Amino acid sequence: MTKTRKLLYLAVGAVLVTAAVLSVIVLRHSDRVLVEIVQDGTVIQTLDLRSAADQEIRIESPDGSSYNIVSVQNGTVAVREAGCPDQTCVHMGALKTDHLPIVCLPNRLIVRFAEES
C-alpha cells in the first residue's frame, strides 16, 4: 500500500469519525423544558413542558391566509397541521433537540427550546 493511499484512508476515517461525533452532539435530545413559539421574530407563547396541559394551539399567519396547529401532548410539542403547501413543519415531528427547531417558513413560525432564566 502506498503512502498516498494510507493518507487517503486516514483522512476518510477522520472525516467519518468527526461526522459521527457531530451527529451525536447535534441530534442529542434536549434536557430543556421551556418551549417558545415565535412568529415573525416575536415570541407569541412560552410553554413549560413539565406542566403544560395537553392542548392544541391554532396560530394564524401574519397575513391571515394560512395557519399552523401546534400540538402539546405528554410533554412533547409538534406542529400537527399546517395550511402551507409543503408541510415540512408537520413532517419534522416532535421537537427533540436544541439545534433543530421546527420551522414553517411560509407562515414565519418557529417552535424552539428556550433558554431558562
Q: Give the model confidence (pLDDT) of 24-61 as tens digits.
A: 877 777 777 899 999 999 999 999 998 889 999 999 99
Q: Where exactly are the structural domains of the chain?
A: 1-30, 34-113
Residues 63, 103: Cα–Cα separation, whole Å: 17
Q: Whole-structure pTM over 0.85, yes or no?
A: no
CATH among 2.60.320.10, 3.90.1300.10, 3.40.640.10, 3.30.70.270 for 34-113: 2.60.320.10
List all residues 6 or more positions away from 107 whose beta carbon is below 8 Å from its beta carbon: 39, 59, 61, 62, 66, 67, 68, 82, 83, 84
Going by C-alpha positions, the residue among 11, 52, 38, 27 that lies closest to residue 103 is 38
